[in-house]
Structure 1
Amino acid sequence: MVVKSRISGLRELSVQERRAAVVKSAELSEDALGTFGTGGISDDQADHMIENVIGRIALPVGVATNLTVNGRDYLVPMATEEPSVVAAASNAARICRGLGGVHATATAPVMIAQIQLVEVDNPEAARLKILEAREEILEKANLQDQVLVSLGGGALDVQVRTVPTRSGEQVIVHILVDVRDAMGANAVNTMAEALAPRLAEIAGGRPLLRILSNKADRRLFRVRAEFDAALLGGEEVVRDIVLASDLAAADSYRAATHNKGIMNGISAVVLATGNDTRAVEAGCHAHAARHGVYSALSRFEHNAAGHLEGTMEVPLAVGLVGGATRAHPTARDAISLLGVETATELSQVIAAVGLVQNLAACRALAAEGIQRGHMTLHARTVAASAGATPAEVAQVAVRLVQAGRIKDDYARDVLVELRGAQA
């Protein structure tokens, strides 16, 4: 399959026409994205996913275009309610496309099973005893998921820390597990449960918590891209993006908003593919504070050619097997559209979207200001919520933007005026 992520005129098409154009560019069968037109799941399907189901909530799913990662084009499904996110990601991907797109690398898909041991009389001696039993512990861990082991994954190593707490020193055991194409929660939780009694016996204490850590700092994805200075708006815009990036690196108040821009892209793809947005967000924000101060996940710098170089490192615990990625029909369609074959490839695309999304926000702030583009798209939402029909939305949105009054009450006034003129 050879995906073409450049689709000319996509914005001007109807929803049905866009879907057909995306299917054609992705070289999928005509009915491949059928669930995108139906809302995805029935009440019965929802009832099997969570408890006490009373209904469903739908979010718009857009497709980000122009993205190239490691020399391959991707059409990226993004589930989000926020205007401008999909358009901004597509535009920023275009700005780096001509200079090679996004380059991505990854560590192994290693997750951490964490076992808490309390009431240990001699924590340091217990730490060494557990390490001495490393081979026994790994063997027992791998007996819990022999399918994972047969696929080349499984428990790799044992780490032990003593952690001083308000209630005394505790012994914390980490089992490092290669989870292959899974997110990994079920595998590592099962191992943690199975190992806890034996670890407590070795340490001479009591097991308490036994669960994965969402601080997935063994499962890192690094992306970089070169953004064309001319397409960004020139040398002054490049300089101001660098200055904004430097503030985000130094100031946690700015970093929180800077990283939110990254997560606009990351979370939208994670959600569209049926993965765990909360786990990914927790891991990314923990990584942003890994040096003891909350800081920016990305950096932007001038390079020797005068272009803007963007770099980012994030942990991403996502999978292609298990959970909603298999249970939710629309998530399956989203994976098909992406055409990814491994969880690592999926994560590289997700990280790439986070970087280009971040660049788009920084460019808007450094150039015309965030409100101009964002509010232009928001005007369409306001027009629709005020009661405009699909045929009226564009006209009302233009009037709202021209007046600088993107408000529900003014949208209703504009609608009354338009309809009166047509009567």
Structure 2
Amino acid sequence: MSSRNKIKMTKPVNGFSKLNKTEKIEWLAENYLTDNKEAVSILEQYWNEDEKLQKLHDEFIENTVSNFYLPLGLAPNFLINGKYHVLPMAIEESSVVAAASKAGKFWSERGGFKATVINQTKIGQVHFLFKGDISKLEKLFKDLEPKLREAVKPITKNMEKRGGGILDISLKNKTKELDHYYQLFVKFDTRDSMGANFINSCLEKFAEVLQKEASTAEFFSTEEKDLQIIMSILSNYVPECIVRAEVSCPVDQLSEDKNMSGEQFAEKFVQAVRIAEIEPYRAVTHNKGVMNGIDAVVLATGNDFRAVEAGIHAYASKDGKYSSLTHASVENGIFKFWMEIPLALGTVGGLTSLHPLVKLALDILQRPSASELMEITAVAGLAQNFAALRSLTTTGIQQGHMKMHLMNILNQNAATEKEKEEMVEYFTHHTITHSSVIEQLEKMRS
């Protein structure tokens, strides 16, 4: 019977977190893995030989047993606001870094990318239930705001020194959507930090003050005094934390293909974007291409790509229908391609001062501020989308993608260096598919 078909009798475990790393692996191998020795070897071979560095990685999360590596690549030649950048990109998908690099060079020869941070406002909410007279709650809130700000002074002091802090506190009535439901809706500026811990700490203190003030308000009935806090948490939807990235050039500078003029390319490109604007099935794949660039930079710089993904996709639906993040036009012979997206990023705090590769990635980017990192990251997304659409509307996406994917197929089949060289040469002149690569490799070996 193959190891794939062997089934172990699995069982729950108590006190798993108290086991050391070796004990965790031993328990895993004994209870869940069929080939114990190989599994343990795989986990241990990804441990860092530097014990201090390994301990640092072990403490990023809980119950660690090994490290999961992603390739870190570089996309050079990005001219952004008149300054050249090399973009660090952490991603596992073939062709993404190559496509970004190609787009970066293409636009560096046509004036480069322009990027602007429009706003950096972030949002947090205290969600609560209040069964009573809305006018009384509004009266309480009128006197509450200064008390809320006073209560969080120890938390906001350092942030205010850096020019950030609490921008606005408002009361939101959501009872039409959900019975008795209200919010304290708070706007923050967290400067160069992503600010999650700062925001959440402020919100939890607000909740404490709100509940206390409600319970002692003389003009509240007994039921009204029983104001119920549901939760206090930042929002990863940041539609006021916006960055714009754009490129433009005369249409006659667009074509690099003798079979297609710049005007023809621009017309086809604009139509491709318009399809993504009105067709959700296409928009999701279109925007995934944008996120290939954004996520790779976000990961490399130690930011939260899940939060970024969630916020950006929500923004793509802000008009009631999922739509393209990017837009394109041709006016008076000028091609323009642009995007406005919400991005909450940080360059201090979190992993930025702990993870050695994150620190190095930020050094590669010349130690950007949070707003500069927003601009760079948005440009990465715009460049990636441009590269994908250029392929789709000219040669097709598979030609370049499968060329990059060839090495993955060869590695999966344990090709030698000599076999790789010969296969790369062969498929320079032949169509790449998974089956054709396997077939040619078998021919070569026989």
Per-residue CA deviations over 1:8-42 (Å, capped at 9, x if unaligned) read xxxxxxxxxxxxxxxxxxxxxxxxxxxxxx89994
For 2:306 and 2:390, how far apart are their aligned partners in 1? 27
Residue type matched to 2:69 in 1?
A
TM-superposed deviation, 1:389: 3.2
Q: How far does residue 298 in structure 1 lie from its aligned partner after superposition?
A: 1.0
Q: Confirm whether residue 379 of structure 1 aligns to residue 406 of structure 2.
A: yes
Does the CA-based 8 Å contact 1:251-1:295 persist in structure 2? Answer: yes
**Whole-Å separation in 2 of the counterparts to 1:169 and 1:97:** 55
Aligned to 1:11: none
Rg comparison, structure with higher value: 2
Partner amino acid, structure 2, of 1:209: M
How much does 1:160 deviate?
A: 2.0
**Offset of residue 131 of structure 1:** 4.4
1:113 touches 1:192 (CA, 8 Å); kept in 2? yes
Alignment of 1:12-411 (within 5 A): 42-123=53-134, 125-127=136-138, 129-164=140-175, 167-202=178-213, 204=225, 205-227=227-249, 228-231=253-256, 234-304=262-332, 306-400=333-427, 402-407=429-434, 410-411=436-437
- In structure 1, give the amino acid aligned to 2:268: D
Q: Name which of structure 1's ranges 125-134 and 292-301 shifts more when overlaid on structure 2.
A: 125-134
Number of residue-to-residue matches in the alignment: 381
Cα displacement string for residues 269-314 of structure 1 (whole angstroms, at most 9, x for unaligned residues): 000111100011111111111112111111011132x342111111
Q: Which runs of 5 or more structure 2 residues have no equivalent in the other structure?
A: 1-47, 215-224
Q: Distance in 2 between matches of 1:389 and 1:183?
A: 45
Q: Supply the distance in 1 between the matched residues of 2:395 and 2:316 (Cα, whole angstroms).
A: 28
TM-superposed CA distance for 1:390, in Å, is 4.1
Report the CA distance between 1:419 and its aligned residue: 5.0
Deviation at 1:209, TM superposition (A): 1.1
Change (3 A) 1:123 1:100: farther
Quote the Cα distance in structure 2 between the aligned partners of 1:326 and 1:48.
14
**Are the aligned partners of 1:248 and 1:254 in contact in 2 as well (CA < 8 Å)?**
yes
Are residues 403 and 188 of structure 1, via their aligned partners in 2, closer, same or farther at CA, if it must alter by over 3 Å? same
8 Å CA contact 1:248–1:255 kept in 2: the answer is yes
On the 8 A contact 1:144/1:191 being kept in 2, the answer is yes
SS where residue 143 of structure 1 aligns?
Answer: helix
Q: AA paired with 2:199?
A: V
The answer to whether the 8 A contact 2:245-2:338 is kept is yes
SS at match of 2:174: strand
Summarize the Cα distance change of 1:166–1:158 in structure 2 as closer, same or farther, 3 Å threshold: closer
Provide the rounded CA distance (Å) in 2 between the counterparts of 1:327 and 1:131.
43
**1:402 and 1:125 mapped to 2: Cα distance?**
78
How far apart are the structure 1 equivalents of 2:421 and 2:325? 37
Q: Percent identity?
A: 34
CA distance in 2, matches of 1:186, 1:341: 21
Q: Distance in 1 between matches of 2:444 and 2:300?
A: 37
Does the 8 Å contact 1:120/1:206 carry over to 2?
no
TM-score, normalising length: structure 2: 0.80
For structure 1, the residue ranges without an aligned partner over 5 or more in a row are 1-37
SS in 2 for 1:144: helix
TM-score (norm 1): 0.84
Aligned partners of 1:165, 1:402: CA distance in 2, in Å? 64
Counterpart secondary structure, 2:180: strand
Q: How far apart, in 2, do the equivalents of 1:286 and 1:262 lie? A: 14
Separation in 1, partners of 2:276, 2:139: 41
